[in-house]
């Protein structure tokens, strides 16, 4: 029997609720494939700060170091509660960015997918959606503004000031470019490069390197689009996109817009891949506004499991089965409240209800 160690970081807010449903899927997949998934829970996020004095405790680092893959729930508190934790210990700076840095998870895959049959979830008009939404955002995850030098202080005029720099070297751009071109090669052979080279010098270098790497991929068409225009096109004509590549900050913002055009951030899973280790997490946050109510959409977390099955464990068939199971639950008219509007006749279900229905669908595969 093969075995895989998976570190489970439940995180904050809705994290534990959606993790519970993801674990049901992992258990079923393990059972029927005669695999042992060794699931090891570890404290992470604001909850870990309050219980262990650090949002990324040493014991969690060790568990993650030893794991074959990491499944992570969202972390973070609402604006007011965040202030209860010193700035550098807040889970975004104190846990999430250190996790990304520790495993150098530079390639962040954020699929934005809605089949035509579920177009009613989207706020976009049917004529804009056409055959459905199917694109993937590839976001550089360990460079740029997020990880550049930062300084705060008082300047010569006695004013408080802040400076943070956007840094990339050509190797960092090259490796994400390769991931993007390789992904485009497996899909429609078009790569949209999202940049801001009319202002940012970082984008000038970014574009140069994209062009250089592109010479190894003559069959891929590269389309360069300024990030502000790309935001509009995502709403007006998302069908023009297939694979989009961009830096860390642009990827953060446009991927949430991706959730917006689908109808909910609850439909946004992701994979964060490094040279030796990968972790998987929903693209969204801890949703403090709905935490504890049992109504969060666990699709993002279960989709992250599907990405883990495929990308860390080579279980492509089971990954497909998981996607199909979730979509067929929706296709039967069930939905968590985030995807419903007052005039829709959807059958509203809880977080747990969705997880259980996915399990029964998956058992049919």
Which tokens belong to 233? 């096109």
Per rule CB under 6 A, count of chain residues that contact ligand NAD: 22
Tell me the CB-side half-sphere exposure of residue 126, using CA atoms within 13 A: 4
How far apart are alpha carbons 150 and 163 in whole angstroms?
6
| CB nearer to ligand IPM: pick between 47 and 327 | 47
Angle at 360 (CA atoms; ends 358, 362), nearest 5 degrees: 65
Residue 172, C-beta contacts closer than 8 angstroms, at least 6 positions apart:
106, 140, 142, 143
Question: Is 228 marked active-site?
Answer: yes
How far apart are alpha carbons 348 and 31 in whole angstroms?
29
How far apart are alpha carbons 217 and 25 in whole angstroms?
38
Q: Are strands 190-195 and 35-41 parallel, antiparallel or unpaired?
A: unpaired
Task: Determine contact, residues 114/124, Cβ cutoff 8 Å.
Answer: no
**Positions 2 through 31 that interact with ligand NAD (CB under 6 A):** 14
According to the binding rule CB under 6 A, does residue 140 interact with ligand IPM?
no
List 68, 92, 170, 182, residue binding ligand NAD (CB under 6 A): 92
Helix (H) / strand (E) element for 4: namely strand 2-9
Q: Considering CB distances under 5 to 8 angstroms, the limit depending on partner class, which of Mn ion, ligand NAD, ligand IPM, none binds residue 265?
A: ligand NAD
Please choose, out of 8-16, 90-98, 189-197, 250-258, the segment that lies near Mn ion by the rule CB under 5 A.
Answer: 250-258
Question: Is 150 marked active-site?
Answer: no
Q: Considering CB distances under 5 to 8 angstroms, the limit depending on partner class, which of ligand IPM, ligand NAD, Mn ion, none binds residue 338?
A: ligand NAD
List 17, 21, 140, 252, residue binding Mn ion (CB under 5 A): 252
According to the binding rule CB under 6 A, does residue 76 interact with ligand IPM?
yes
| CB nearer to ligand IPM: pick between 55 and 183 | 55
Question: Is 252 marked active-site?
Answer: yes
Q: Kindly report the number of other CB atoms within 10 A of residue 359's CB atom.
A: 17
Question: Is 289 marked active-site?
Answer: no
Please choose, out of 59-67, 224-232, 234-242, 294-302, the segment that lies near ligand NAD by the rule CB under 6 A.
Answer: 294-302
Q: Are strands 69-72 and 2-9 parallel, antiparallel or unpaired?
A: parallel
How far apart are alpha carbons 50 and 68 in whole angstroms?
27
Q: Considering CB distances under 5 to 8 angstroms, the limit depending on partner class, which of Mn ion, ligand NAD, ligand IPM, none binds residue 286?
A: ligand NAD
Please pick, among 49, 103, 146, 280, the residue that the annotation labels catalytic.
146
Residue 240: is it exposed, middle or buried by C-beta count within 10 angstroms (0-12/13-18/19+)?
A: middle
Question: Is 171 marked active-site?
Answer: no
**Positions 231 through 290 that interact with ligand IPM (CB under 6 A):** 252, 283
Question: Where does this chain bind ligand IPM (CB under 6 A)?
Answer: 76, 92, 96, 252, 283
The residues binding ligand NAD (CB under 6 A) are 14, 74-77, 92, 96, 264-266, 281, 284-290, 296-297, 300, 338
């Amino acid at each position: 029997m093969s075995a895989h160690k998976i570190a489970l970081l439940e995180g904050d807010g809705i994290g534990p609720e959606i993790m519970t449903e993801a674990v049901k899927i992992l258990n079923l997949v393990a059972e029927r494939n005669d695999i042992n998934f060794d699931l090891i829970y570890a404290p992470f996020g604001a909850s870990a700060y309050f219980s262990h004095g650090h949002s990324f405790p040493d014991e969690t680092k060790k568990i993650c170091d030893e794991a074959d893959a990491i499944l992570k729930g969202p972390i973070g508190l609402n604006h007011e509660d965040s202030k209860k934790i010193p700035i550098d210990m807040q889970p975004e700076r104190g846990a999430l960015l250190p996790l990304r840095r520790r495993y150098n998870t530079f390639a962040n895959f954020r699929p934005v997918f809605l089949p035509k049959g579920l177009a009613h979830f989207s706020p976009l008009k049917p004529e804009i959606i056409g055959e459905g939404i199917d694109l993937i955002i590839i976001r550089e995850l360990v460079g740029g503004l997020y990880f550049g030098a930062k300084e705060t202080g008082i300047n010569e005029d006695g004013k408080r000031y802040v400076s943070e720099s956007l840094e990339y070297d050509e190797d960092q751009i090259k490796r994400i470019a390769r991931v993007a071109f390789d992904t485009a090669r497996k899909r429609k052979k078009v790569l949209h490069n999202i940049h801001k080279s009319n202002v940012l010098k970082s984008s000038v270098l970014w574009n140069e390197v994209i062009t250089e790497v592109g010479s190894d991929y003559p069959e891929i068409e590269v389309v360069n689009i300024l990030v502000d225009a790309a935001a509009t096109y995502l709403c007006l004509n998302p069908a023009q996109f297939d694979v989009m590549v961009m830096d860390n900050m642009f990827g953060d913002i446009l991927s949430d817009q991706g959730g917006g055009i689908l109808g909910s951030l609850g439909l946004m899973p992701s994979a964060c891949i490094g040279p030796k280790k990968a972790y998987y997490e929903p693209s969204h946050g801890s949703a403090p506004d709905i935490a504890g109510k049992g109504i969060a959409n666990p699709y993002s977390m279960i989709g992250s499991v599907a990405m883990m099955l495929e990308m860390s464990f080579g279980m492509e068939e089971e990954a497909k089965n998981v996607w199909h199971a979730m979509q067929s639950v929706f296709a039967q008219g069930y939905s968590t409240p985030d995807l419903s509007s007052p005039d829709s006749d959807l059958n509203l279900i809880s977080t747990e209800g969705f997880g259980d229905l996915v399990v029964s669908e998956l058992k049919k595969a």
